Chains A and B, each alone.
Chain A
Amino acid sequence: MIQLESVSKAYKTSTRPALDDVSVDVDKGEFVFLIGPSGSGKSTFLRLLLREEVPSKGRVSVSNFDVAKMPRRKVPRLRQTIGCVFQDFRLLNNKTVSENVAFALEVIGKPKHTITKVVPEVLELVGLDGKADRMPHELSGGEQQRVAMARAFVNRPLVLLADEPTGNLDPDTSQDIMLLLERINRTGTTVLMATHDHSIVDSMRRRVVELDHGRVIRDDRRGVYGVGR
């Protein structure tokens, strides 16, 4: 589903490459933690998959897309197969919960009858049925992240990228979000989650890819955050 082959990424402003000869292969339906300290290259990794960046060297593919080589006009189609959640939720504060979710479908031209059918379904999936008409500021952090996840998942992406989705949440709420991610993963969606959160990684016992200084220093099938850390 996701393949990086000897991928390097250097930024002009930095002497050290953000990613240095990285090769990772993620199968369909896998759940993978991407861990490592700040500046280790996690964000660059995710940005390459979304084609927010183009690698300096190597090959990146997501589903059937040759991400680095695809023409610009095809990028929207790539992004429609990927859902994204972030630490800061990125909700539209002037829209209600259901409008926020519907927005993701409206802007890719989905017909109205599809939207009115699908949005309540996905809100129920993330446990927000009954809060469809609330504004984001009326919700707790955990609820806001659920809205963001509903938005990321509403178009049934093949891959869900989560960039520190629990970074702003307390441990209990984080646990709820992880359960939700697992549920999404069980629908067959490949989940790639960048995180700093030891306890979550340790409790989930999923595949762990650890980056340091832009290199893959560990790739465990059923890993923990780190021994002795």
Chain B
Amino acid sequence: MRASFVFSEVVTGLRRNVTMTIAMILTTAISLGMFGGGLLLVRTIDKMQASYLDDVEVTVYLTQDISANDQNCTAEPCSSIRSALENNQAVESVVFEDRNEAYERFQRIFEGQPELVELARPESLPASLHVKLFDPERSEVIVQEFGNQPGVANVDDQNKFLDRFFDLLNSGRDGTFIVAAIAALAAVLLIANTIQVSAYTRRTEVGIMRLVGATRWYTQLPFLLEAVVAGVIGAALGVVGLIGVKYIALDQIFEATGGAIPKIEMVDILFPVAPVLLGVSILISAITGYVTLRAYVRT
């Protein structure tokens, strides 16, 4: 096998069909870029889930009556609610917060909005029991068990809110993958078509090659490599695109959320996303090329 011959055939092929080559590279880049974006989103969601779930609490708000009269949660029904929570297998810790503490926290949270702090009075805030669970995903149990107990005003489950938030992110991720799959289909069809056109424009060469006894490697490898080379360039462009989108848009957007969504790091793009994209691209273009040659080009 003479590498120089095959290589020069590949270059000739890609140049002869330059508009198709560009189209093939661009669609590959777009689909791989989307796919890479989806992968990054998956990673981001994982990171967020890990960091958020650590802090997730279930808050059992107590009625006005208890909030006003039971300063330390020592009287009934507060004390029995507290001990029931403490004895619950799923519960890691329970912290009581009285009105004044709630008011202090309120002041801290709304530091930036003094008019709001101005309006609030400690009496308007309920006392509460902050419950931390071993498995934050199982907060439902607490809601069910304590939601209707006397002395409990309501149970606030942060996990519910997070679920909605993650649902949103997850559907964003799914949407990205779907668009990536559609673009990938377009890329595959373009690759197939380009190879057919390429094989057609070179039918005289291929005919002579077959006639003088060139093996299939010689007749078909150039076409296959054309597809793979375009795929590799497409993957590289896809990665460059991801890096560009990170710096131009995502960094600012995620920063605006005040750290609620962690920044996508350069390292995340370079590994594992970039090698995955490259691998997927080579695999898909090679398989598409091989199948096309099998189906359309005589040996």
Binding site for B on A (CB under 8 A): 50, 72-73, 75-82, 84, 90, 92, 103-104, 106-109, 112, 151, 155
B211, A108: Cβ atoms closer than 8 Å: no
A79, B2: Cβ atoms closer than 8 Å: no
> With A72-B299, A92-B204 in contact, do A106 and B5 touch (Cβ < 8 Å)?
yes
| Interface presence of B214 (CB below 8 A) | yes
B2, A80: Cβ atoms closer than 8 Å: no
Complex alpha-carbon distance, A75 and B211, angstroms: 10
The one of B204, B205, B213, B216 that contacts A108, using a Cβ cutoff of 8 Å: B213
Complex alpha-carbon distance, A28 and B167, angstroms: 80
Complex alpha-carbon distance, A111 and B252, angstroms: 58
B211, A79: Cβ atoms closer than 8 Å: yes
| B290 CB to nearest A CB, Å | 16
B:187-220 near A, CB below 8 Å = 204-205, 207-216, 218-219
B213, A80: Cβ atoms closer than 8 Å: yes
Interface size class of B (residues with CB under 8 A): 10 to 19
A77, B208: Cβ atoms closer than 8 Å: no
- Cβ-closest chain A residue relative to B209: A107
B208, A104: Cβ atoms closer than 8 Å: yes
| Chain A residues with CB below 8 A from B299, complex form | 72
| Chain B residues with CB below 8 A from A72, complex form | 299
- Cβ-closest chain A residue relative to B2: A109
| Interface presence of B1 (CB below 8 A) | yes
B5, A76: Cβ atoms closer than 8 Å: no
| A191 CB to nearest B CB, Å | 17
- Cβ-closest chain B residue relative to A110: B2
The one of A77, A90, A155 that contacts B204, using a Cβ cutoff of 8 Å: A90
A92, B208: Cβ atoms closer than 8 Å: yes
Interface string of B1-19 (1 = CB under 8 A from A): 1100100000000000000
Among B2, B210, B211, B215, max chain A CB count under 10 A is at B211
- Cβ-closest chain B residue relative to A86: B211
A90, B213: Cβ atoms closer than 8 Å: no
